[in-house]
Chains A and B, each alone.
Chain A
Amino acid sequence: MRPRVLWLVLVLIPLALVAAAVAHGQNKFRLKLGAAGKVCVDCHPDFAEKLKSKFVHTPVKAGECVGCHSPHASDHGKLLSVPTNSICLTCHDGVIPPKAVSTHKVVIEGNCVKCHDPHASNNKANLLKAGNDLCVSCHRAIGDTVAKVKFKHMPVSDGCLNCHNPHASDKSPKLLNSPVPALCVQCHKPDSPRFARQHVDYPVGKANCASCHDPHGSNTGGILFDTVHAPVASKRCTQCHNAATAAEPFATRRSGFELCRGCHGAMVNETFGKARVHWPLVDKTGCLNCHEAHASRQKKLLNVEEASLCGQCHNDTLDWQAKLAEKEKQETAAAKGRPEKGAFTHDPIRKGGCSACHVPHASDSTHLMRQPSVVEGCGACHDWLKHNSHPMGEKYADTRNRNRSLDCLSCHRAHGTGYRYMITFPTPTDLCVQCHKQLRR
């Protein structure tokens, strides 16, 4: 044999072996020609209609149903060859970058079908709905806001994907394509005279635009958040910051509560006149632990809505409330329609109103309660004498502890206990015999 032919044979044989192995791998079920997909349509005729869609998933178009489904049997739903929440990743494993800063929850959970039709659709990328309709089907609150607001942000109306990546972002939180302000300055040029004038010459091109502006639109001009701090609204930035021409224009004139005291002196003095202050108010961050300095969606310039705000530090209380709510749900379901008396959780907490009982800044009472007396505090909502004649108040000592008088918290806990009526023992009998020991059985 001539050497050139020999070389050719030596190269071709391994190539043929590799090709055979690949073919075997692709046709692992040893299906006849067409059985990988075309045969399926014989029994699934509705698919013929589906295949007429504008966008068809590549394996479906290629008649490769076995790319995802096992034709005989499977441990997974819909005869899928791997679990439902990971099958898409067998081909599309790059949707989540290795060092993602933020990830869409449905993507992490492998719930791709929440947005995509795995077979075909008339929308690009096999999406279930076109444009923003798909996003707002889950993110309803944002959808409602965008629809209702007086001042709209055009890129939002045009499409959420102008700013967000639907799968994950390796650059920014909140699935943003780029971090703020880099994202914003792609459209809003900070060096334009109009931009500079609107921002009182402060170099905000490098600041956090979302500390003042609601990117989804708002009812306030300049899409500022609906609650605007007065100095911001009147463009008197120097009340808090150095001059725009200073070396550090954004540095504040003072730190923590000392800055806010300049205008809110009366409130700060009243706060410091109380025996107990809410400690975060006097730390380095001060008022900004709870309030926004510039603008907010919330009333009183709160960072977020009240329950979430308090829960940022007091997450033990929020976690406990979630457990109680779950228990109440389970017991109500088990009751099968029979009326269940007595709540597990306190109504103000359920509605996110911690400030119904607590003062967020300072109080003379422990736990920053509004009222010095527990009886008076509870009595602000509960006319307890109408449903309970148990003696209560300073005159009546708790038999378990000579230094405590009887009040509502002798029997109940305001944040719930895991028992109905928020009592501290499983049954009223168990509770009553703690003091009325002669009645114990």
Chain B
Amino acid sequence: MPRALSALVILFGLLWACGGAAAAEVARLRYVTAIYLDDKGGGMRQPEGVACNDKGTLIVADTGRGRLLRYTIEDRDVKPAGEIQAPQLPAPIRLQLNSRDEVLALDGKERRIGRFDAKGAFKGYLSPEGVPAPTSIVPRSFRVDRSDNVYLLDVFSARVLVLDPDGKYQRHLPFPAEHGFFSDLAVDGRGAVFLLDSVKALVHVAQRDAKDFSPVGKSLRGHLSFPTSIAVDGRGIIYVVDQNGGGVVLVGRDGSVLARQLAMGWNEGLLYYPSQMCLNDKGQAFIADRGNSRVQVFSIAR
């Protein structure tokens, strides 16, 4: 009897551990708040980019009004912290913050990346140096890693360029031979680069020292309509933003679909043609809810 009892206890323990592990894999986006206004009470218009960090800074690309907006975040409290006038970037669409609190912004019209210092002063465009032929570069998106290296999604030359913080060429990764159109990329804490193919609804990955991309699982076509933004959290969960379907699909590192969250709509907590998503280590998620002319803040509950 004691032996059977111990076996049962071990079995239950194992089951609990497995169940716990599985549950931990699935994250849930919980609506926190929505940001509509700048520090002067003016509304946003069709923002497409968001950048965030762990220090409580949020930058919004107010694309429709051709400006950047700064906010500070403390728990659920979001406060406007000024506007960054950016006449050099009339249509900012993708943003990143580096470790020095500099803002890097990709402009959809100029198709160039502008750099602003922590105070919001324009410091010039990022100009890649020493890039091997072809020298023509058209960035569709970009990311900054923890060491401030810049990963540039160069659609014109079908490659991901890795540049050091000053823009000097480090290496490049060619796009996979078979692909539709890559709209976004992400870099995780381990240095793996993720590419999002909007047309094939497929995520590709190149691990830190890999020279090529390989698909992560199968196409997500059954789970979303037209994805355009991707983010990866510290646990390796991939967040794919479904622009046309108004939702976020969570994908495991093995390509398994963990969940589809949020839905299309106008009310708070719903998305209408969302654009860039940003995650920080505090478990916060920010989504540029372009069609609703606002940025929504979610907490990632596990």
- Residues of A participating in the B interface, judged by any CB pair closer than 8 Å: 255-256, 258, 272-277, 279-280, 282-284, 312-317, 320, 366-367, 398, 400-404, 410, 434
Instruction: Tell me, in angstroms, the Cα distance from A276 to B156 when the chains sit together.
Output: 16
B-side contacts of A276, CB under 8 Å: 91, 108-109
Beta-carbon contact of A279 and B183 below 8 Å: yes
Known: A317-B244, A398-B266. A403 touches B181 (CB 8 A): no
User: Contact between B46 and A313 (Cβ–Cβ < 8 Å)?
Assistant: no
Task: State which size class the interface on B falls in.
Answer: 35 or more
Residue of A282, A316, A317, A402 ringed by the most chain B CB atoms within 10 A: A316
B21-58 interface (Cβ within 8 A of A): 36, 43-46
What residues of A have a CB within 8 angstroms of the CB of B45 in the complex?
Answer: 403
- Say if the beta carbon of B134 comes within 8 Å of chain A: yes
B172 part of interface (Cβ distance < 8 Å): no
Any A CB within 8 A of the CB of B78: no
CB distance from B67 to the nearest CB of A (A): 13
Mask of B261-302 contacts with A, CB within 8 angstroms, 1/0: 000001100000100000000000000001111100000000
* Among candidates A258, A316, A400, residue contacting B267 with C-beta atoms closer than 8 Å: A400
Q: Tell me the bound Cα distance from A398 to B155 in angstroms.
A: 38
- Pairwise interchain contact B293-A316, C-beta atoms closer than 8 A: no
Q: Are A403 and B44 in contact (CB under 8 A)?
A: yes
Partner of A366, one of B140, B199, B290: B290
Question: Given B183, B198, B266, which contacts A401 in the complex, CB threshold below 8 Å?
Answer: B266
Known: A282-B138, A317-B244, A403-B45. A275 touches B108 (CB 8 A): yes
Main secondary structure of the interface of A (DSSP, over half): mixed
Give the distance to chain A from B50, nearest Cβ to Cβ, in Å.
Answer: 15
B260 interface residue per 8 A CB criterion = no
B191 adjacent to chain A (CB < 8 Å): no
Among A273, A282, A398, A410, the one with the most B-chain Cβ atoms within 10 Å of its Cβ is A282
- Known A275-B90, A283-B156; judge A403-B244 contact (CB<8 A): no
Tell whether B206 is near chain A: CB-to-CB under 8 Å. no
Chain B contact residues, CB within 8 Å of chain A: 36, 43-46, 64, 90-91, 108-109, 111, 134, 136, 138, 140, 155-158, 180-181, 183, 198-199, 221, 225-226, 244-245, 266-267, 273, 290-294
* Pairs across A and B, CB under 8 Å, 28 listed: A256-B136, A256-B156, A272-B109, A274-B109, A275-B91, A275-B109, A277-B111, A280-B181, A283-B138, A283-B156, A284-B156, A313-B180, A313-B181, A313-B198, A315-B199, A316-B225, A316-B245, A320-B225, A367-B273, A401-B36, A402-B36, A403-B43, A403-B45, A403-B293, A403-B294, A404-B266, A404-B292, A434-B266
Provided the pairs A275-B108, A279-B183, A402-B43 are in contact, do residues A284 and B158 lie with their beta carbons within 8 angstroms?
yes
A312–B180 Cα distance when bound, in Å, is: 9
A262 smallest CB distance to B (angstroms): 14
Inter-chain contacts of A313 with B (CB < 8 A) = 180-181, 198-199
Q: Verify A284–B108 contact, CB threshold 8 A.
A: no
B109 to chain A, nearest CB (A): 5
Q: How many angstroms between the C-alpha atoms of A410 and B273 in the bound complex?
A: 14
**Residue ID in chain B nearest A404 by CB atoms:** B293
- Nearest A residue to B48 via CB reads A366
**Min CB gap B144→A, angstroms:** 21
Q: Which residue of B lies closest to A403 (CB)?
A: B293
Chain A residues with CB under 8 A of B180 = 313
Q: Which residue of A lies closest to B266 (CB)?
A: A400
List the B side residues contacting A258 at CB < 8 Å.
136
Asked if residues A316 and B155 are in contact (CB atoms below 8 Å), the reply is no
**A366 contacts across to B, CB distance below 8 A:** 46, 64, 273, 290-291
B157:A284 contact, CB within 8 angstroms: yes
Tell whether, in the assembled complex, residue B136 and residue A279 are in contact, meaning their CB atoms are under 8 Å apart. no
